């Protein structure tokens, strides 16, 4: 568990500036939400933090180290990401064992079968799923594998980009409960993007509201039921939920 400090994060695609001086802090072990309308830059923030996007300016500091300065093998056990679409982490032609071995390999470890089996047990899947391929799994099972892959090295920080939006409603709650249980068992800081304020209310201690690439306001979870936002945009967003 480490704290995260995001400082003056800016990124442009061509002539379009998509993030404008995004600055906020997430405390060690905190569960933090990021909300805002589609296109406001939420996924881009996470992609910059995990260095899937590299051409940004500003800083992302985890613990005392900038993610930019971390070699890949240190970064994989510091920050991991789960995508809205489980295929963001799963290659359609790679078995679950291959998917789970990838972070181990980057970290210089062998294909440790016991560790891969434990990762599946942790997310509530049977160990013989190591031999399965993504098309042999349900959407919820695929997302469990993506979570197992993200947590296999016990990272300090987990980035979750709408991790349940692509799933059936009945499966969404299962995955959210799994994430809450894993956080309390393993201890990691998480940053969850969601467009659903009821999910943020359920899952996050605090959250930031984004609009057009800027952080409008950072609020406590209690601000949702009471609508204690001071910025008009944040107040309207909460009122509309």
Across the strands, what pairs with 189?
157
Cβ distance to Mg ion smaller for residue 26 or 159: 159
For residue 74, the 8-state DSSP code is: H
Asked if 189 interacts with Mg ion (CB under 5 A), we say: no
Does 99 bind ligand ADP (CB under 6 A)? Our answer is no
41 binds ligand ADP (CB under 6 A): yes
CB 7 within 8 A of CB 59: yes
41 binds, among Mg ion, ligand ADP, none (CB under 5 to 8 A by kind): ligand ADP
Q: Which structure tokens are listed for 198?
A: 């009821």
The CB-of-138 to Mg ion minimum distance in angstroms stands at: 23
Q: Is residue 13 involved in binding ligand ADP (CB under 6 A)?
A: yes
Give the one residue of 11, 18, 19, 43 binding Mg ion; rule: CB under 5 A: 43
Name every residue whose Cβ is closer than 8 Å to that of residue 17 and which is 6 or more positions away in sequence: 10, 11, 213
Write the CB contacts of 197 (distance below 8 Å, at least 6 apart in sequence): 35, 224, 237, 238, 241
Please say which residue, 162 or 201, places its beta carbon nearer to Mg ion.
Answer: 162
* Interacting partner of 144 out of ligand ADP, Mg ion, none (Cβ under 5 to 8 A depending on kind): none
Q: Does residue 221 contact residue 206 with C-beta atoms inside 8 Å?
A: yes
Tell the smallest beta-carbon distance from residue 42 to Mg ion (Å).
5
Minimum distance from residue 221 beta carbon to ligand ADP (Å): 20
Q: What are 90's two structure tokens?
A: 């799963």
**84 scored as a contact of ligand ADP (CB under 6 A):** no
- CA nearest neighbour of 234 among 44, 214, 202, 32: 214
> Which of ligand ADP, Mg ion, none has residue 86 at its interface (CB below 5 to 8 Å by kind)?
none
Q: Report the interface residues with Mg ion, using CB under 5 A.
A: 43
């Amino acid at each position: 568990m480490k704290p995260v400090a995001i400082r003056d994060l800016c990124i442009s695609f061509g002539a379009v500036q998509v993030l404008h001086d995004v600055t906020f802090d997430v405390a060690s072990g905190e569960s933090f939400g990021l909300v805002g309308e589609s296109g406001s830059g939420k996924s881009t923030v996470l992609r910059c933090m995990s260095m899937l996007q590299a051409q940004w300016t500003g800083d992302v500091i985890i613990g005392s180290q900038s993610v930019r300065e971390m070699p890949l093998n240190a970064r994989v056990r510091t920050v991991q990401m789960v995508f809205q679409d489980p295929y963001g982490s799963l290659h359609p032609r790679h078995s679950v064992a291959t998917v789970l071995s990838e972070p181990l390999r980057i970290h210089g470890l062998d294909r440790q079968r016991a560790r891969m089996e434990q990762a599946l047990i942790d997310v509530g899947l049977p160990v013989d799923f190591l031999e399965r391929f993504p098309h042999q799994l349900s959407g919820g099972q695929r997302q469990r594998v993506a979570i197992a892959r993200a947590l296999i090295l016990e990272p300090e920080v987990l980035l979750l980009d709408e991790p349940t939006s692509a799933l059936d409603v009945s499966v969404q709650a299962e995955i959210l409960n799994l994430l809450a249980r894993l956080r309390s068992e393993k201890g990691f800081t998480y940053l969850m993007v969601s467009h659903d304020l009821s999910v943020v209310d359920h899952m996050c201690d605090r959250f930031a509201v984004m609009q057009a690439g800027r952080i409008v306001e950072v609020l406590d979870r209690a601000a949702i039921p009471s609508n204690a936002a001071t910025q008009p945009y944040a107040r309207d967003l909460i009122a509309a939920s």
